[in-house]
A and B are shown apart, each in its own frame.
Chain A
Amino acid sequence: MPDEDWVDLRVPTGIPGLDRMLGGGLRPGRPYLVTGGTGSGKTLLGLTFLLEGIRRGEEVLLVAVDEPPSEIVENVRSMGWDLSGVKTLDANPGLRGIRRNMAVQEIRAMNDLKAMRDVTADGKRSSESEDIAIQGIQLKLRQQMADRPFRRVVVDSITSIRRFAVKSSVDPQAERTEIQSLLRFLSESEVTTLITATPSDPGILTPEEVLTRGEILLTRKWVGDRSVRQIKIVRMRGCAHDPERRPFVITNQGIVLG
C-alpha cells in the first residue's frame, strides 16, 4: 500500500454509530484506549471490533486477561455470535500459589495462540501456575506476527495485566517501559489496537493514557431502575470527532448507538 493511501485510511470499528462519531473509524496502526467500569461494555466493544476485522478477512487477536477465553465464548454465544475465527492468547493467570514451591512459568513459554473454536473450558491445567509479564506478551506476539500478521488486536484488559504482572509490578519505571515497548511493537507492526482499562484514579496518569492516541469512554448509570449507557470519545488524535456523550444500547447486534 502506498504511503499516501495510508494517510487517509480508517479502520471501521464494526459499530456504525461509533464510526460516525469518529469521522469514519480509527486510524490504522495506532493504539487506542477503551475505558469504563465493569459491565460497561468494554469487552463487547472489543469483540465487535475483532469481528469486524474477520468480516474483512483480517487476522485478529484477543489477549484475554480478565476472563478466560472459554467464558467469553460462552457469554456471547447467547447473542448468536461466532468467535471461532478470532485468535486468542489466554493470558488469564492460572491458579496461584496454593503450594509454595509451585513452578512459575511465564505465559510466553506456556501458551500458544489458539483459535476460539479450540478453546475448551478445561483448557488450562491448574497444576502449574503461570504468571504473565508484559514482555512475555510482546515476545509471544512477535513470534506469531511473523507468519500471521494481525491487523487488529484487543488487550482485555491492561488494568489486569498491570495488576497481575508479577515482574513489572516491582518497578514502575520498568512497567512503563514495557508497556511503551509493547505498544510501540504493535504500532510498528501496523496493528490497530484496542486496550481496555477500568478508569484509573483521576490523579494518576497511567502510561497507557500517555501512549494511546485516543480514548473512548463507556459509562453506565442507573436512572430509576433503568440502566443508561453512554459512549464518549474523550480524545482522538488526528480525527475530527464528535466530543459529546451519546447513548447506546446493547442488543444481539452488540453495541448500537441511537
Chain B
Amino acid sequence: MAGEGVVAHPAEARVSTGNSSLDAMLEGGLVARRPYLIVGPSGTGKTTLAIQFLCEGVRRKERVLLVTLEEPPNEARVNHRGLSPELDRVEVFDAIPDIMRYERAPFKDIASVRTAIPFVQVPFRIRHSPELASVEVTITALEQMLRTEVIRKGYTRLVIDSLTALQYFCMKGFDPVGGAQSFLRFLSELRVTTLITVESPLEDVETPERMLARGEVRLFRWELDGQTVRAVGVEKFRGSFHDVRLHPYRIGPQGIDINLEVTISRDTRQIIEPIVPRLVVPVAAVSATPVASPVTPLMDEVRDLILIGADVAPARSEIAAALAATIDGRPADAQAHLARVSSMIIGIVDHLSRAAGPVTDPAAQAALQRVLARAESVRAGVPPTSLPPPSALQVQLGALLSLLPPPAPTLAPAALPSIEEVLPGAATAAAPPPSPFEVPVTAPAASPPTPSPAEPMSGPAPELEVAPSPPTAEPTKSEEPVPPAPVETLPTPTPIVEPSPAPPPPAAPAPEPVPEPAQPPTPAVPAPVEEVPPASPAPEPPVPARVARRLPAPPKPHPPVTGAHPTKPASPPVPRPGGANVGPPPLPSTTVPEWPPAPSPSVRTAATPHPSTRAAEARAAEGIGAERAAAPAGGKKRRKAAGTAVGKRPAGHARAGAREPEAKPPSPPHPAPAPVLSTTLLAEPVATPEPASTPKPRRRSPRKRKAPPVVSATPGLVPPGALGEPMEEAKPTDDPDPPAGAPGE
C-alpha cells in the first residue's frame, strides 16, 4: 500500500478478501499470514464473508479450508449455493460435535475420525452421528488437526467458523477465555491467513480475542424505525491504513454487497446518518488508494476546510512550525506539529459534523460533504506513523502552506489566535473553550453582548420571558444546545436599537460599533467580531451574550428576528464590545465552529441566509460567548449535547430537541445562545457581570423560541457580516429579518 510513509510492511503481500469493497476498506487487502476476526451478531453475514474469502483463494489456485463448528457443512453448502462456483472446491472440516450419547460409548478424537473434504462432496442432508461412538471436539484435538493438515496440504487460507461455538461447545474443562486466547496464539503461529468469526451481541465488549487478532472486521445490525440497517466497518487493522468509516451493506446472491458511497455515523450507536441527511454523505472512494504520507490526507482536508470557510489559521501555524522543524532537521518535532494539526482538524470537523449549517455555495457544500465523509477516518486518526524523507516532506508541507491563506488578511488567521486567547480572556468566567474550533474566534465578540443581557431583560422581557435569566449559564452551553441557544440569545435581548448604540461605544473594536449603528439587529454580528476577549474578561464574561451566532442553519431565522431586537444590543453591548472588540479582529468569527446545526432552534433566527461562512463566523462568535460562559462545561459535554441534538434534528429538525434545551433556558444559561447569528448584543454594557449574564437573555430561553420572532434582532444574524468581513457588522443589514425584529422593537 502506501508509499513512503508506510506504516505497513510493504514487503508483506496483501491477500484479497474476495470482496473488492472490503479490500478497498482494507487499503488493498489483508496482510498475509495473520489471524483476523469477523465480529458481529448472528445472521449478519460473517460466514458468507468468510466463504467469499475462501472462494477467492480457490480462484487463485490456493488450497483453502473451512473449519465449521456451527453451521453443518450440508447447510453451509445449501445456504451458499450460487455464491460462487469455486465453493465446490473449498475444503470443509466438520468440527461439530456429535450427539451426546449419555450412555457408555467410546469417545473418539475428532482428528482421527473426520477429514476435510471439498464442498462438492458434502451431501445435502445432514451427517448422522455414528451409533456406537461419539466424537468429542476439543480445542486441543482441533489444534492438532490443523497443525498436521496445514503442513500436509499446504492451506494458505483458513476460516474458523465460529470461535464462539468453539468456546461454547468444545471447551469442556477449559477456561473459555484462556482457551480462546491460546487458540488465537496458536493460529498466529500457524502463519496462515485466517479469518475467525465471532458472535457478539454487543458492540462494545472487549474480549481477549479482539485484543489478540491483528485486525477486526465488524458487522453491525441496527433497527431504526422498524428498518433493519446493516453496516460493516474495519475496527482494527494492525500495520496498515484502513477505512474507519462504516458502510452499509446488503447480503445478496453474490455475498456481502458493501456500498462504499454511503457512510454511517458511528457516533450515535443507534442513529444512522441516513436519517440525518447531512450525515449521510456520499463518500469518494478514498479508501481504496493507499495513503502515501501523512501529509497527503491533510492536503485534501485543508483544501476542503478552506472551501467551507472554516478557520484553519491555527493549523497553519502548526504546519509552518512543522516545516521549520523539517528544515532544521528535527523530524520528531515536525511529527509532533503534524499530530497537532491533525487533532485541530479533527476538532473542526467534529464541530462541522455536529453543526453543519446551511452552506449555499455548491463548492463549499461539496467540500463539506467530503469533509464529513472523511470525518470518521480522521477521527480514527490513522496515525501517521512515519514521515517521508525530509526533502519530500518539505515539499509537501510547502505545498500545504501555500494553500492556506496568509494569517493576517483573512479572517481566519486572526481569528484562530484570537480564539484561544480570547476564550480565556473572554471567559472571564468561562473556562477555556473546550474546543477551540468550536468556539471560533467569534466568540469573543460575544462577550460584548454580555452586558446587554441586562438590558435585554428589561426590554425584551415580554417575549423572552425566560430567556433573560438563563443567559449566564447558557452561554457556555451554547454549544451543547447549540443551535437553540444561540438563536435565542440574540433575540431576546432587548430592542435592537440599543444594541446598536451601545456597540459603538464599547466597540473598541471599530468594527462592531459600526455595524450596530447601521442596524441594531446587526449587533450580533458585530459582537462577534469584537470578540475582543478583553471585554469579556470583564465582569460580564458570562454574559455570553456575545453570542453572535450566525447559524447558517437556522431555518427559521426570521422569527427570531422579532425577538432579536432586544435589545441588548443597545447600549450595553457597546461597552463590552469595546472590550471585546478590542482584541480581535472581529472576523475571527469566521471560524467554523458551531455550525448552525442547532439552527433548528435558531429557526427563529434568520441565520439561514448567510452563506455558510458567514454563518459560521457568526456562530463562532456565539460560540465564543458561550464558551466563556460555559467554558468550564467543557467541549465534550457540548459535543454530546450537540450530538444528541443533531440526532434529533435529523429527524425533524429537531426543533423539538432544540426547544427542550431551551426549556432549560429559562434558567439562565440557555438564553444567550439562542440567537444564532446575529447575536444581538445586549446592551448592558458594562453592567455588572452578573447582570450581564442575565442579559444573556438574548439567548432566549426556550420560550424565546416562541418568542423568537420577537427577537428579530437576532435574525439579522447578519450572516453577511459573518465571515467575510467581520466588521461588517453592518451586515446587520442582512439581518433583514432581524431588522424586522428591530422594528418590532
Q: Judge whether A82 is part of the interface by a CB distance below 8 angstroms.
A: no
| Bound CA span A174–B96, Å | 16
Number of contacting residues on B, CB 8 A? Answer: 42
Query: B124–A6 contact, CB under 8 A?
Result: yes
| Bound CA span A211–B164, Å | 11
Which B residues are CB-close (under 8 A) to A211? 70
Query: A180–B97 contact, CB under 8 A?
Result: yes
- Min distance, Cβ A217 to any Cβ of chain B, angstroms: 10
| Cβ proximity bits B90-111 to A, threshold 8 Å, 1 near / 0 not | 0000001111101000000000
Which A residues are CB-close (under 8 A) to B333? none
Q: Judge whether B79 is part of the interface by a CB distance below 8 angstroms.
A: yes
Given A184-B98, A188-B126, A205-B199, residue A238 in contact with residue B75 (CB < 8 A):
yes
Interface of B is mostly: loop
- Name A191-224 residues within 8 Å CB distance of B: 202-205, 207, 209-211, 213-215
User: Which single residue of chain B is at the shortest CB-CB distance from A230?
Assistant: B226
Which A residues are CB-close (under 8 A) to B43? 214-215, 234-237
Which B residues are CB-close (under 8 A) to A188? 99, 126-129
Query: A178–B125 contact, CB under 8 A?
Result: no
Q: Judge whether A138 is part of the interface by a CB distance below 8 angstroms.
A: yes
Q: Judge whether B200 is part of the interface by a CB distance below 8 angstroms.
A: yes
Query: A180–B75 contact, CB under 8 A?
Result: no
Q: Judge whether B155 is part of the interface by a CB distance below 8 angstroms.
A: no
- Min distance, Cβ A11 to any Cβ of chain B, angstroms: 14
Given A177-B169, A184-B129, A188-B129, residue A204 in contact with residue B99 (CB < 8 A):
no
From the candidates A6, A181, A213, name the one contacting B99 in the complex (CB within 8 A).
A181
Which A residues are CB-close (under 8 A) to B656? none
Which B residues are CB-close (under 8 A) to A210? 42, 70, 162, 164-165, 168, 199
- Name B39-85 residues within 8 Å CB distance of A: 41-44, 70-72, 75, 78-81
- Name B110-159 residues within 8 Å CB distance of A: 123-129
- Name B220-275 residues within 8 Å CB distance of A: 223, 226-228
Q: Judge whether B205 is part of the interface by a CB distance below 8 angstroms.
A: yes
| Bound CA span A181–B97, Å | 8
- Min distance, Cβ B378 to any Cβ of chain A, angstroms: 31
Q: Judge whether A146 is part of the interface by a CB distance below 8 angstroms.
A: no
From the candidates B71, B98, B102, B169, name the one contacting A237 in the complex (CB within 8 A).
B71
| Bound CA span A234–B222, Å | 10
| Bound CA span A245–B188, Å | 42
Which B residues are CB-close (under 8 A) to A135? 100, 102
Q: Judge whether A78 is part of the interface by a CB distance below 8 angstroms.
A: no
Query: A176–B42 contact, CB under 8 A?
Result: no
Which B residues are CB-close (under 8 A) to A204? 201
Q: Judge whether B11 is part of the interface by a CB distance below 8 angstroms.
A: no
Given A29-B126, A185-B99, residue A177 in contact with residue B164 (CB < 8 A):
no
| Bound CA span A179–B128, Å | 17
Which of B123, B125, B199 counts the most chain A CB atoms within 10 A?
B125
Q: Judge whether B280 is part of the interface by a CB distance below 8 angstroms.
A: no
- Min distance, Cβ B17 to any Cβ of chain A, angstroms: 21
| Cβ proximity bits A235-254 to B, threshold 8 Å, 1 near / 0 not | 11110000111000000000
| Bound CA span A187–B126, Å | 7
Which A residues are CB-close (under 8 A) to B71? 213, 237
Q: Judge whether A147 is part of the interface by a CB distance below 8 angstroms.
A: no
- Min distance, Cβ A160 to any Cβ of chain B, angstroms: 20
Which B residues are CB-close (under 8 A) to A176? 168-169
Given A27-B78, A180-B168, residue A3 in contact with residue B97 (CB < 8 A):
no
- Min distance, Cβ B274 to any Cβ of chain A, angstroms: 15
Given A180-B97, A204-B201, residue A237 in contact with residue B124 (CB < 8 A):
no
Q: Judge whether A115 is part of the interface by a CB distance below 8 angstroms.
A: no
Query: B102–A177 contact, CB under 8 A?
Result: no
User: Which single residue of chain B is at the shortest CB-CB distance from A133?
Assistant: B102
Our count of residue pairs bridging A and B at CB distance below 8 angstroms stands at 102
User: Which single residue of chain A is at the shortest CB-CB distance from B251?
Assistant: A240
Which A residues are CB-close (under 8 A) to B128? 188
Q: Judge whether B9 is part of the interface by a CB distance below 8 angstroms.
A: no
- Min distance, Cβ B68 to any Cβ of chain A, angstroms: 13
Which B residues are CB-close (under 8 A) to A27? 75, 78
- Min distance, Cβ B129 to any Cβ of chain A, angstroms: 6
- Min distance, Cβ B540 to any Cβ of chain A, angstroms: 49
Query: A244–B228 contact, CB under 8 A?
Result: yes
Query: A235–B202 contact, CB under 8 A?
Result: no
From the candidates B75, B78, B100, B126, name the one contacting A178 in the complex (CB within 8 A).
B100
Q: Judge whether A139 is part of the interface by a CB distance below 8 angstroms.
A: yes
Query: A138–B172 contact, CB under 8 A?
Result: no
Query: A177–B98 contact, CB under 8 A?
Result: no
Which B residues are CB-close (under 8 A) to A237? 43, 71, 75, 79
Which B residues are CB-close (under 8 A) to A139? 102
Q: Judge whether B212 is part of the interface by a CB distance below 8 angstroms.
A: no
From the candidates B123, B199, B228, name the one contacting A3 in the complex (CB within 8 A).
B123
User: Which single residue of chain B is at the shortest CB-CB distance from A6?
Assistant: B124
Query: B169–A29 contact, CB under 8 A?
Result: no
Which A residues are CB-close (under 8 A) to B80? 238
From the candidates A30, A202, A232, A244, name the one contacting B75 in the complex (CB within 8 A).
A30
| Bound CA span A7–B171, Å | 33
| Bound CA span A185–B102, Å | 12
Query: A3–B165 contact, CB under 8 A?
Result: no
| Bound CA span A244–B225, Å | 10
Which A residues are CB-close (under 8 A) to B169? 176-177, 180, 207
| Cβ proximity bits B655-679 to A, threshold 8 Å, 1 near / 0 not | 0000000000000000000000000
| Bound CA span A11–B378, Å | 50
From the candidates A185, A202, A232, name the one contacting B201 in the complex (CB within 8 A).
A202
Q: Judge whether A101 is part of the interface by a CB distance below 8 angstroms.
A: no
From the candidates B42, B124, B126, B202, name the one contacting A4 in the complex (CB within 8 A).
B124
- Name A1-41 residues within 8 Å CB distance of B: 3-4, 6-7, 27, 29-30
From the candidates A181, A209, A215, name the one contacting B100 in the complex (CB within 8 A).
A181
* 9 A-B pairs with C-beta separation under 8 A: A3-B124, A135-B102, A138-B99, A138-B100, A174-B172, A184-B129, A205-B164, A213-B75, A237-B75
Contact surface of A with B, Cβ cutoff 8 Å: 3-4, 6-7, 27, 29-30, 135, 138-139, 173-174, 176-178, 180-181, 184-185, 187-188, 190, 202-205, 207, 209-211, 213-215, 230, 232, 234-238, 243-245
Apart from A184-B98, A210-B164, A235-B43, list 17 A-B contacts with CB within 8 A: A3-B123, A3-B124, A27-B75, A135-B102, A181-B100, A185-B99, A188-B129, A190-B125, A204-B201, A207-B168, A213-B75, A215-B43, A237-B75, A238-B78, A238-B79, A244-B227, A244-B228
Nearest 9 A-B pairs (CB), nearest first?
A235-B43, A238-B79, A181-B100, A3-B124, A243-B228, A245-B226, A185-B99, A180-B169, A176-B168
